[in-house]
Structures are given as structure tokens and as C-alpha cells.
Structure 1
Amino acid sequence: MAQSAGRGISVDDIVRNASIEVIPLKGAEEKAAIVPTDTTVTVTCSPRFGLSRTLDHVAAACRSGHRVVPHLAARMVEDRKDLRHFIQKISDLGVDELFVIGGDGEEPVGRFGEAAEILQELGEFDHGLSTTGIGCYPEGHPKISEDALFDALLRKQQYADYMVSQLCFDASAMAGWLRSARDRGVTLPLRIGVAAPLRVRKLIEISVKIGVGRSVRFLSKQNGMVSNLLLGRAYEPMDLLTAIRKEISFADLSVEGVHLFSFNQVDATLDWLSRASGVEEAG
């Protein structure tokens, strides 16, 4: 990844290394197909749709020539056989990267209850994966304490190559959490998870469909954001990234990229990426 001369890693640098997340809803295959093939597409999974839906959309993105990263939720995997089946399916598609999360299901469908258990199981067989990512929670988790989250992250990092933050709208929370993570011994490179430009009505529709209403409540933490969106204005990710960059050094704290939650508004996401590329932050 190129660096701006004399300035370390800039916002422009991490935007160039952005991935775009799509949700396997109806029409998502066509949306993912328009993403440039040099931009990574990630495909989520949820208890509402099952792992087979994720695999279907991963296959479609592979057919359109994309580098694809499937999400795998531990709570959706029944047993060792089910895990190996999933890994074999993505391997057959030429996929060599996986993003492992705990998942949103209230109860595990089988023996796996958290991401660390999947990661440990992956270490027991020749899976063919070259890169593995895990999630992290700079703004906390409603059901898990901060200390427990850090403990889990430290256990998982020995099996992982990078981490992606949950949807974030608070620059100070992100910067403070990352400093704390490094002090606690978390060394994984970070890809900052941010919402792509979006309209609040569409966000609410998608959130209801996939059962992640918390995403809507995150918006209320950003002063003025809700009123701007209700007036028809789009959220601007660059403002958040620039604010984070003013608080921390991306190079010193190992920030390597951006993960864009598109909420399947891929056209708007690509338009923003096109405009954002080459834009240097002030200061």
C-alpha cells in the first residue's frame, strides 16, 4: 500500500484499500457484479438466511471475477462436518480468505458458540485458507463487557491476520479504543468499519430485514446526523475517517484499510469511492 510522502499512512491510503460488504438479499448478486474486480467484496451471513445463502452469493461474486471474502458466523455452524463442508465449498470456488464472527443468533445451532471455537477448529485440519479476519468492537457490545471483549480478541488474534471494527460513527471512541487495544497487546492490523453514504429510510428498511436494528441506533450517537439524513442528505464517511486520522497515526497503530458497510447501496458506495480516491485529508 502506497504512503503519502512524509505523512505516513493517510486517509487516501486506507480508502484505496477498501472492501465493500454486501448482504445476501434479493438483487445483491447484480449489485456485487458492478463492483470493480480490484475491489474486494465481502458477503455476510445471518441466522435469518443461513449459510447456504451466503455460499450462493459468494459463488455468484466469484463468477463475476471478484476477490470474495465470505463471513462465517460460529453460531450458525452445526458441527465439525458442517464447518468442513463450508470450507470445502469456498475452497472449490477458489476463495482463500475467511472472516469469522460469533454471529447474532440468540442460541447456537450446534456446538460452536463463539468465533474463537471456529478458529481453533480450523487449526485442526488443512483448510487451504491464506488469510483470516475477525471482528472487534470499539463502541462495545450490548451483551458483553469490555474486558471480556478484549480477552476474546487476545485469544482469537493468534489465529487471525487482521481485524475489522463493527460499524462506527464516533472518531474519539475509535481512536481511544485502538490505543487501549495496543496497550493491552492486540497487534492485529485494523480495517476501520464505516457506513458507506446512505439514506436513513433505506438503512431502516435493510436493518429490519436482516435484524440489526442496532445499526440505526448508532446513528443517534452522531450529532446532527439523523436530522441531516431526514432532510435527504447522505452520510459522509470521509468526515469520520479524517477525524480519526487527526487523533491517531494510522502507521503507528497499524490501520491498514477501510471496510465499507454498503447496506447494498452499491452504486452510491462506488460513487463515493471514486470521489474519495485521491482526496487528502487536511491538517
Structure 2
Amino acid sequence: MTTVSTPQVAGAALLLQDFSLEMTGKDTPKLQAAAESIPAGTRINVTYLGNEDLPLRLAAARSVQQLGLVPVPHVSARRLESQAQLEEFLAALRDSGTQQSVFVVGGDPTQPHGPYTDSFDVIRSGLLQKYGVGQVGLSGYPEGHPQIPQAELWAALEQKAALLVAEGLAGDVITQFGFDAAPVLTWIGQLRERGIDLPVRVGVPGPAGVRRLLSYAARFGVGTSTSIARKYGLSLTNLMGTAGPDRFIHTLAEGYDAAAHGEVKLHFYTFGGLGATSTWIDDFRTKEGLK
């Protein structure tokens, strides 16, 4: 059994008190199989992938709700081909009662497929409120973005946070995943200094193979220097092994100061391993005496 200090236990308890998970539309069978290990009311983000259609996304959101969990459908701004397509999606969410919370992101395409160049455009359209959305998730990048300068990232986040207030929408910030807790804590401190008091959900990679974690890190531009990788627990000499976020969570919990950092939770990127991630969280909470 892992033994951690009292500050770590207290910090981990706060961080894991209301964690969230991520899934794709195709992960519905995995979610159903894993549901027993996921606390009721857990927020489940449903991604908006280019190779998944509207019925698949809606079925996933409905399945989340039927299991006693909270669906958070994604809206990918640059993937939307028209205002009508956005309204069709939002109307379908409303009709199924799964529209309360959404996560709005710019999305992968370099060029927009329609009228929305970024998440700001979607939020300021007024369509979210029209179809009953009350809470909006935003993206955060503690280690930067491979294609967007840091100054632009901060300016965009400040504008979107202010827009949520102006539009009467609740919100939170979900960060890109990383392997080093230090820049995450620094970034949250800077966020608060800039007057953004939205709750933050720190992106955490669920347990996965070392090779797979490194491939995702390379894809999303996340820092993976040898020292950081080893600090996280990735064995670069054993790429066939697996790693969980134990050390990352312990380090984050030890440095977390609720007075300075505000409300902070964890958001787990499952990378297709929804069952493995939910089981890992359940075991971790038991092992650390957090249940």
C-alpha cells in the first residue's frame, strides 16, 4: 500500500472529490461495462470526432444520462459546416434532456468547415442559451499549444471567461493533459492572478501503455523530456510497460493550495481505456483512503 503524507491525502481527496472522464461516441459499451465503478453524478465528456455522426454522439450522451451520470457533449467549432448544423445538434441535445452542460472547443481542423472559427464564435452566437445550455467548458493549455502563441492563448481565455459572465453562463476550464504537475500549478496561479475564477479540471492521462502515452504526448505537443517522463513514472527503457498517474496526482496534491488555486478537480483522458481508467481511479481512491 502506498503511504503519502497528510497534505497529499487532503489534497488528493479534494482533487478527486468530483473527477470527470472522457469518452467517444463509440465508447458506449465500455461505459456501460464500467458504470459500477463510476460514482453517480460523475461528469462524462462526450467528444465530437470527425468520424462520428450525430446519432452516435446523441446515443452516447443519452447512455451517460441513463446510467445516472452527467453528459457533457463537446461542440467542435471548426468542424461545424453551418449554423443550421449547430442548431440541429443543440436541438437534439435539448430534446433528449442532455443539453445542460457542453464543452466548446475550436477543434482539430486548421481551416473552419463553416462560419465558426473558434469556440468564442459559438459562445457569442447566443445559440447555446437558446437551446437550454447553462454551463460551458473551455480549454486550457498549461504547457502551451504547438500552433498558438502563449499570449494569444491567454487573451482568448480571458475573452471567453468574460463572455460567459456577460451571457449569464456558468463555466469551467479543462486543461490539456500533461506529465509534469509543476507547470500546471504555475498556470493555475497565473489564471487566478488574471482574475479568472472559473473552476479548473486538470487533464490527467488515464493508465495506458508507455508507448501509447508518448505517442499521444507527441501528437498534442505535450512536453515529454526524459526527466519529466521518468518523474511521471514512464519507463523509457520498457516501452511495453504501462503507467498510471499516481505520481502526478501525488505531486499535484502536495502543491495544491485551495486558497491560492481555487476550485480544482481532475479530468481523466481515457484514450479508449474507459474501463481501465475507471477501475484505476476506484482502486486508487481505496488505496489512498479517499473513499
Shift of 1:234: 2.9
Shift of 1:268: 1.6
**Aligned equivalents of 1:83, 1:118: Cα separation in 2:** 9
**Aligned equivalents of 1:123, 1:44: Cα separation in 2:** 19
Corresponding residue number in structure 1 for 2:229: 223
Q: Percent identity?
A: 25
Quick check: 2:139–2:174 contact (8 Å CA) kept in 1?
Answer: yes
Tell me the amino acid that sits aligned with residue 77 of structure 1: L
Query: Per the alignment, do residues 161 and 264 of structure 1 end up closer, same or farther by CA in structure 2, a change over 3 Å counting?
Result: same
**Aligned equivalents of 2:213, 2:255: Cα separation in 1:** 28
* Runs of at least 5 residues in structure 1 that lack an aligned partner in the other structure: none
Higher helix share: 2
* Runs of at least 5 residues in structure 2 that lack an aligned partner in the other structure: 1-5, 165-169
**Aligned equivalents of 1:144, 1:75: Cα separation in 2:** 15
Query: Per the alignment, do residues 46 and 219 of structure 1 end up closer, same or farther by CA in structure 2, a change over 3 Å counting?
Result: farther
Q: Secondary structure at the match of 1:230?
A: coil
Describe how 1:2-81 pairs up with structure 2 within 5 A: 10-25=11-26, 28-33=27-32, 34-35=34-35, 36=38, 38=40, 39-81=42-84
Moved over 4 A (4+): 5-9, 201-205, 215-221
Shift of 1:127: 2.2
Corresponding residue number in structure 2 for 1:85: 88
Partner residue of 2:219 out of 214, 224, 239: 214
**Aligned equivalents of 2:25, 2:102: Cα separation in 1:** 16
Deviates more, 1:144-153 or 1:14-23: 14-23
Partner residue of 2:97 out of 94, 114, 117: 94
Normalising by structure 1, we get a TM-score of 0.84
Query: Per the alignment, do residues 193 and 37 of structure 1 end up closer, same or farther by CA in structure 2, a change over 3 Å counting?
Result: same
Q: Secondary structure at the match of 1:167?
A: coil
1:132-185 deviations in Å (ceiling 9; x for gaps): 111110010011111100000011113151111011211111111111222222
Q: Secondary structure at the match of 1:161?
A: strand
Q: Secondary structure at the match of 2:133?
A: coil
Query: Per the alignment, do residues 232 and 251 of structure 1 end up closer, same or farther by CA in structure 2, a change over 3 Å counting?
Result: farther
Quick check: 1:91–1:128 contact (8 Å CA) kept in 2?
Answer: yes
Corresponding residue number in structure 2 for 1:249: 257
Corresponding residue number in structure 1 for 2:3: none
Query: Per the alignment, do residues 166 and 13 of structure 1 end up closer, same or farther by CA in structure 2, a change over 3 Å counting?
Result: same
Quick check: 2:90–2:131 contact (8 Å CA) kept in 1?
Answer: yes
Quick check: 2:21–2:45 contact (8 Å CA) kept in 1?
Answer: yes
Note the aligned Cα RMSD (angstroms): 2.9
